[in-house]
Structure 1
Amino acid sequence: MAIGSFDGFEVAYRTGTSDESVINEHSFDKDIFFPGVPEYDPKEGDVIIDIGAHIGTFSLLAATKAKSGMVYAIEASEDTFNMLKINAALNNSSNISVHHLAISDKDGTCTLYHDTGNWGHSTVKQLSRYSETVEASTLSSFMDRNGITKCHFMKLNCEGGEFPILLSTPADVLGRFGTILVLYHGDLWANNTEDDLTAHLEASGFRCEIRNRWQKRGWIIAVNRAFR
């Protein structure tokens, strides 16, 4: 483990892993997520949920925008979660709530399959012979347990898990969200396509647009037309 200073943030990371690419290529001053979703204008009191928070680089940045709000940073991998927890503490980010958890389509436990280099562990596709068992929760249960009645922005980057997560979430729960950024991974989930995701979101009151499409991956930006 190493600790470095990046654009005013102190970050613990694992050398020789994808942590370095994440930090150097699309975090902090090089963030791609907030600029990539201009429909969302962060406010100081906002609630933000980061599913697949990795070591916390986006959550740290989000916490500086939602200064009087709350950022819920959710990471399934135990080793990566430990880095996330360290980074929240290193930056005195009292408005980041960290959770070692896999958001899923069911409550209980699930298997998290490991990829190499800490790049893209997945709950829906076996990527190697290594895995771990983690606590699992539906999005609905997570919201209720944490008393979240409204979420202004949610980012999902969970290597195929976004399909069962969102498709199992009912419209009344999705209605609590303002803007959702879904990084979809169709190559890791064979049962549905991005069109199924957009259809479910649109039926739940969202206006959807697909950006950065590349083969079976891309971004879905979903904006709730009735969110206040």
Structure 2
Amino acid sequence: MSIFDQWQKIRGHSIWTAPLNANSVVVDAGAHKGEFSQTMNKLFGCRCILIEANPDLAKDLVAPSKGEIVHAALAATDGVSQFVFRENQESGSICTRSIDRLNPTASVQTISLKTLRLQHGINQLDLLKLDIEGAEFELIEATPDDVLSDIGQITVEFHDFLSDYQNKGLYEKARSRLERLGFTCINMAFRTHGDVIFLNQRRWAVSFAKIKLMQFTAKWVLKVKWGFLDQ
């Protein structure tokens, strides 16, 4: 398989498929209706843990085979938070924005990545998908080094394109932390940080030359294959 065949884009999230197989474990944070995990399970047969904070979405989630559902918000710490409902169900969040003054809320459990891994017996996490509507910044900042540093790859929709998060250096801070832990950053989006993938070089033993080739070609491969020119 050539490097050009090793990429998929699933619901706006790019992934590097080369190391994924039926033994892989995926955490799908911001599972929505389960589409990402259903596709991952179909393509690779991997185990998927679906995490969804929106109570209206969580109650209707159906786990794929080798899948588990967690009705909570993946967050920096364990506890309880207020979930903000928004007109677009997928954009609801535990992070309050300036436009949310009149939006309804509900109390939801929050679970840290460390606790999630302990409770679900995740010894090796191959792929972490983060689509958690602004909570990604604090999660990346506060999660202990040892919990983050052995994840194979992280695919993130960063929400710094929203006015509440702009011009605060939040993406740059998150990127710097992950790079210090041994990840290489590849921004697959063209105009924002809406589709960023971090590959753990310590985990996958990917050569520097191959990483640079990935950085240069990956998003163009996806653009040509699927016509993406989005975020």
Partner secondary structure for residue 143 of structure 1: helix
Partner of residue 142 from structure 2, selected from 168, 173, 177: 168
Following superposition, the deviation at residue 39 of structure 1 comes to 5.9
1:223 corresponds to: 199
Equivalent AA in structure 2 for residue 62 of structure 1: M
1:65 to partner: Cα distance? 2.9
Is the contact between residue 53 and residue 75 of structure 1 (CA under 8 Å) also seen in structure 2?
yes
Mapping for residues 12-31 of structure 1, pairs under 5 Å: 31=10
Partner SS for 1:79: helix
State the Cα deviation string for residues 163-200 of structure 1 (Å, max 9, x = none): 11111112211122101001100124465421111101
| In structure 2, C-alpha distance between the alignment counterparts of 1:111 and 1:73, rounded to whole Å | 20
Q: Distance in 2 between matches of 1:150 and 1:110?
A: 28
Change (3 A) 1:63 1:79: same
- Alignment of structure 1 residues 66-105 onto 2, 5 Å: 66-67=44-45, 69-85=46-62, 88=63, 93-105=64-76
Are 1:62 and 2:40 an aligned pair? yes
Deviation (angstroms), 1:33: 4.8
Q: Distance in 1 between matches of 2:122 and 2:94?
A: 24
Check the 8 A contact 1:198/1:220 in 2, yes or no: no
SS of 1:177's partner is coil
Q: Distance in 2 between matches of 1:33 and 1:132?
A: 27
CA distance in 2, matches of 1:30, 1:107: 31
Deviation at 1:214, TM superposition (A): 3.3
Give the drift of 1:95: 0.8
Letter in 1 for 2:23: G
Q: Does 1:141 align with 2:118?
A: no
Aligned partner of residue 106 in structure 1, secondary structure: coil
Q: TM-score, normalised to structure 2's length?
A: 0.75
Equivalent residue runs for 1:199-210 within 5 Å? 199-210=176-187
- The answer (yes or no) to whether the contact 2:11–2:36 under 8 Å persists in 1 is no
Superposed counterparts of 1:35-54, under 5 Å? 36-38=14-16, 40-54=18-32
Distance 1:102 1:164 in 2: 13
Aligned-CA RMSD value: 2.2
- Poorly superposed stretches of 4+, deviation over 4 Å: none
Partner of 1:10: none
Instruction: Report the AA paired with residue 206 of structure 1.
Output: F
The alignment partner of 1:125 has SS state of: coil
Give the CA deviation at 1:41: 4.3
CA contact (8 A) 1:125 1:189 kept: no
Q: Deviations over 1:99-138 (max 9, x none)?
A: 1011111111011111103130011124342111100111
Identify the residue that residue 208 of structure 2 maps to in structure 1.
Answer: none
Q: Which residue of 1 aligns with 2:93?
A: 122
Q: Is the 8 A contact 1:43 1:66 kept in 2?
A: yes
Larger % of strand: which? 1
- Quote the Cα distance in structure 2 between the aligned partners of 1:62 and 1:166: 23
* Contact 2:25 2:127 survives alignment (8 Å): yes
